[in-house]
A and B are shown apart, each in its own frame.
Chain A
Amino acid sequence: MTIYYNFAYLDEGTKKKIRRTLLKAVAIPGHQIPFASREMPLPYGWGTGGIQVTAAVIGPEDILKVIDQGSDDTTNAVSIRSFFRSATGVRTTTLTREATLIQTRHRIPETPLHAGQILVYQVPMPEPLFKLEPRVSETIALHAMADYSLMYLKLYDQITRYGRIAIGYEYPVIVHDRYLTSPSPIPAYDVPKMHMSPALQLFGAGREKRLYAIPPYTRVIPLDFTDYPFDPVNTRQPCALCGAVESYKDEIVIDDAGNRQFICSDTDFCGQRR
């Protein structure tokens, strides 16, 4: 039994529908647009939203990079890259600067992106308010009124308990001075890279059936207070491989005594420096 698949797996009609939704998403930065998500041959939670966005926008001339946790060689990145290689035949790369299309889970590359590139985020929960209000019918109304007091209260609560805002990842941002938006579970450290990025940022949430976008050169401001400004925590330990201090690190347990080593999570960035 041989089954043939279209270029990038999905049929042309479906891809066109997703692209139309993406156009709407670009027109209303940070606003979640519902779309009829399809079952992909990888499970929900593995990046089906990002995969559908990539499938919808990829063309034969694209050069694709896929990262998971910043790395090109983690199991899920390897799996998604091989899926697109067999479903499209496009060239793939690990070089951030060479890629035209980058699909990512949980990181933004350290190497600054340039105009013309597209960064596709895999998003588990597109609604930034879901932990505070799980009912979508309610959050839609809150977004319509730009009522984000629930989130400000959460930040305030953390300041009273811990003396600082204690959100390590998935830090809420305001896009284009209007919509509260989830940056996906990237570390707070990565959030400033979203602000005024020359690249187009597309977000796909397959299971939750939502797409959203941040067009190039758009204001992306992390939520904070004047007296408690956004201040992400990152280790000052240099990378054990390349010595970088400023990059985001993975913590690796190297022995039973619990000794740790820190290395760049962005494997391409780290490799370029060595």
Chain B
Amino acid sequence: MSYVAVKGGSAAIRAAHRLVRKRMRGDPDAPEITPRQICEQMHLGVDRVMAEASLYDVDLAARAMLQAQGDMIEAIFLLRAYRATLTRFLDSTPLAMDAMRVQRRISAAFKDLPGGQQLGQTYDYSHRLFGYFDRLETASEVESGKAEVPPEPMTSVMGLLEKEGLMEPAAACEPSAENTQQDITQHPLLFPASRAQRLQSLARGDEGFLLSMAYSTQRGYGQNHPFIAELRMGDVTVEITPPELGFSIGIGTITVTECQMINQFQAKSPEEAAFSRGYGLVFGHSERKAIAMALVDRALRAGELGEESLSPAQDEQFVLSHCDNVEATGFVEHLKLPHYVDFQSEIQTLRHLRKTAAKDGA
């Protein structure tokens, strides 16, 4: 009956936490996983935690996964809570995406293009059979056989379409000078949201939620006729410009995934008809999330582009208010907290109503 003692239950809480600690370790005879192992062998999970916590720290994300016993949202929460304690000293300069050290780059719109299609590490064309990768030569053999190809510059596909006038210009969607200050961690999100605020919200939004929203647009709930112009994953340098220096300096390298989405053209006349764009950018290697983000970004531009907004994915208040899994899990799970007082008032009201009705009926 320890739950009953919520008001004086410190002993119960201690006992509950001891149980967590015990279960977290599991059978002491099984070897313990180290954060390093998580970083090395479960790096896609680490990437997801960093992306949705919006904090790029591989080691802490791995520790969070262990402390959360593999519960990703709990791990994200832990890292997000830590993030809140960090001092913000400067904004970085915009990432130089053209200078990305690309590990993977594909275009679904063009069969070949300058810089080529670079498949990189992907499950895309593997078969989901147990042991499928065991048959392959080991990684070291791949390394030894790898020729260092001098990187050919990878022309931006969107740039090419822009040049021909087939793509709406990037400037149309670029954040204006005033809304670059609209950091959602510093200023609360208000509606209507700017594109900068929307992209920030989506970048830290729950992968599963964005995935389903994006999927709904592909099934007729929202207008979308997407083609991936370019999907890139690789390393970019983060630079800051300290005011006392006046020039930018690199402070580290992060891995990001970027998706540039071409969407169906639409306009009132053939002269104005041009493709529209959607954009996704995520910490780490997460193509699913970057693609979903680009689809949802485009769906949320319905109002701006004069489309009918009839579907959930086109409703910015619906999407942006519910995409954060730390917020969502908090409110959904808070139903476990005691609600004795509110429930008591409800039950009394209902009893009263029924009693009165019975009396009137008699």
A97–B153 Cα distance when bound, in Å, is 41
Say whether B353 faces chain A, with CB atoms less than 8 Å apart.
no
Interface code A176-208, partner B: CB below 8 Å = 1, 0 otherwise? 000000000000000000000000000000000
Contact call B160/A253, Cβ cutoff below 8 A: yes
Judge whether A255 and B114 touch: CB under 8 Å: yes
A-binding segment of B40-48, B86-94, B195-203, B265-273:
B265-273
Binds B, one of A30-38, A74-82, A110-118, A222-230: A74-82
**Which of A16-24, A58-66, A128-136 lies on the face that meets chain B?**
A128-136
Point out the residues of chain A lying under 8 angstroms from B155, CB to CB: 253, 256, 258
Q: Is B150 an interface residue (CB 8 A)?
A: no
Residues A41 and B128 in contact, CB atoms below 8 Å apart: yes
B269 near A161: Cβ-Cβ < 8 Å: yes
Q: Which residues of A contact B220 (CB under 8 A)?
A: 125, 130-134
Chain A residues near B113 (CB, 8 Å)? 252-253
Determine if A253 and B127 form an interchain contact, defined as CB atoms under 8 angstroms apart. no
Interchain CA distance A66-B304 in the complex, whole Å: 42
Docked-complex contact B111 and A252, CB < 8 angstroms: yes
Give Cα distance in the complex from A175 to B218, angstroms: 25
Known contacts being A256-B114, A258-B160, is A75 close to B269, with CB within 8 Å? no
B131 at the interface (CB under 8 A from A): yes
Q: Whose C-beta in chain A lies nearest to the C-beta of B310?
A: A134
**Residues of B close to A78: CB separation below 8 A:** 125
B200 to chain A, nearest CB (A): 28
Asked whether B130 lies within 8 Å of A1 as measured between CB atoms, the reply is: yes
Q: Do A41 and B131 form a contact, CB below 8 Å, given A253-B110, A253-B160?
A: no
- Expressed in whole angstroms, the minimum distance between the Cβ of A259 and any Cβ of chain B is 10
A42 touches which of B128, B223, B270 (Cβ 8 Å): B128
CA distance A270 to B119 in the complex (A): 25
> Which residues of chain A from 200 to 255 have a CB within 8 Å of any chain B CB?
250-255
Q: Which of B147-173 contact A (CB under 8 A)?
A: 153, 155, 157, 160, 163-164
B129 x A162 contact (CB < 8 A):
no
Q: Which residues of A contact B119 (CB under 8 A)?
A: 75
B114 touches A254 (CB 8 A): yes
Q: Which residues 58-98 in A have Cβ within 8 Å of B in the complex?
A: 69, 71, 74-76, 78-79, 83
Tell me, in angstroms, the Cα distance from A53 to B197 when the chains sit together: 46
A161 and B268: CB pair below 8 A?
yes
Q: Is B187 positioned at the interface, with any CB of A under 8 Å from its CB?
A: no
Give the residues in chain B near A125, CB-CB below 8 Å: 218-220
Q: Please, which residue of chain A has its CB at the minimum distance from the CB of B127?
A: A41
Give bound CA distance, A252 to B311, whole Å.
Answer: 36
Instruction: Determine whether the beta carbon of B111 is less than 8 Å from that of A79.
Output: no
* In the complex, B124 has a CB within 8 A of chain A: yes
Question: Shortest Cβ distance from A34 into chain B, in angstroms?
Answer: 16
Question: Do most interface residues of chain A lie in helix, strand or loop, or is the interface mixed?
Answer: loop
Q: How far is the CB of B110 from chain A (nearest CB, A)?
A: 6
Instruction: Please tell me which one of the listed residues A69, A79, A130 contacts residue B127 in the complex, with CB atoms under 8 A apart.
Output: A79
Q: Say whether A3 faces chain B, with CB atoms less than 8 Å apart.
A: yes
Q: How far is the CA of A43 from the CA of B130 in the complex (A)?
A: 15
Within the assembled complex, what's the spacing in Å between the Cα atoms of A75 and B157? 20
Residues of B within 8 A of A130 (CB): 219-220
Q: For the complex, what is the distance from the CA of A255 to the CA of B112, rounded to whole Å?
A: 10
Smallest distance from the beta carbon of A50 to chain B beta carbons, Å?
A: 15
Nearest to B156 among chain A residues (CB) is A256
Q: Tell me the nearest residue of chain A to B125, going by C-beta.
A: A79
Q: Are A41 and B160 in contact (CB under 8 A)?
A: no
Q: Does B221 sit within 8 A of A, measured CB to CB?
A: yes
| Most A-side CB within 10 Å, residue of B110, B163, B219 | B219
A75 engages B125 (CB within 8 Å): yes
Is the beta-carbon distance between A250 and B111 smaller than 8 angstroms?
yes
Which one of B127, B157, B218, B268 contacts A83 once the chains associate, using CB atoms below 8 Å? Answer: B127
CB pair B124 A69 closer than 8 Å: no
**Which residues from A are CB-within-8-Å of B153?**
256
- Report which of B112, B267, B273 forms a contact with A253, defined as CB distance below 8 A: B112
Q: Mark A145-171, 1 if CB is under 8 A from B, else 0.
A: 000000000000000011100000000
A134 near B219 with CB under 8 A, answer yes
Residues of chain A with a CB closer than 8 A to B131's CB: 1, 3
Known pairs A71-B111, A251-B111, A252-B111 / 9 extra A-B pairs, C-beta < 8 Å: A79-B126, A130-B219, A133-B220, A134-B221, A161-B268, A251-B110, A253-B112, A253-B114, A258-B160
List, sorted by A's number, 20 A–B pairs whose CB atoms are closer than 8 Å.
A41-B128, A42-B128, A43-B128, A71-B111, A75-B125, A78-B125, A79-B125, A79-B126, A79-B127, A130-B219, A132-B220, A133-B220, A161-B270, A163-B270, A250-B110, A250-B111, A251-B110, A256-B155, A258-B155, A258-B164
Nearest 10 pairs between A and B by C-beta?
A134-B220, A79-B125, A41-B128, A130-B220, A253-B113, A41-B127, A250-B111, A252-B112, A258-B160, A162-B270
Residues on A lying within 8 angstroms of B by beta carbon are 1, 3, 41-43, 46, 69, 71, 74-76, 78-79, 83, 125, 130-134, 161-163, 250-256, 258, 265
The chain B residues found within 8 Å of chain A, CB to CB, are: 110-114, 119, 124-131, 153, 155, 157, 160, 163-164, 218-221, 223, 267-270, 273, 311
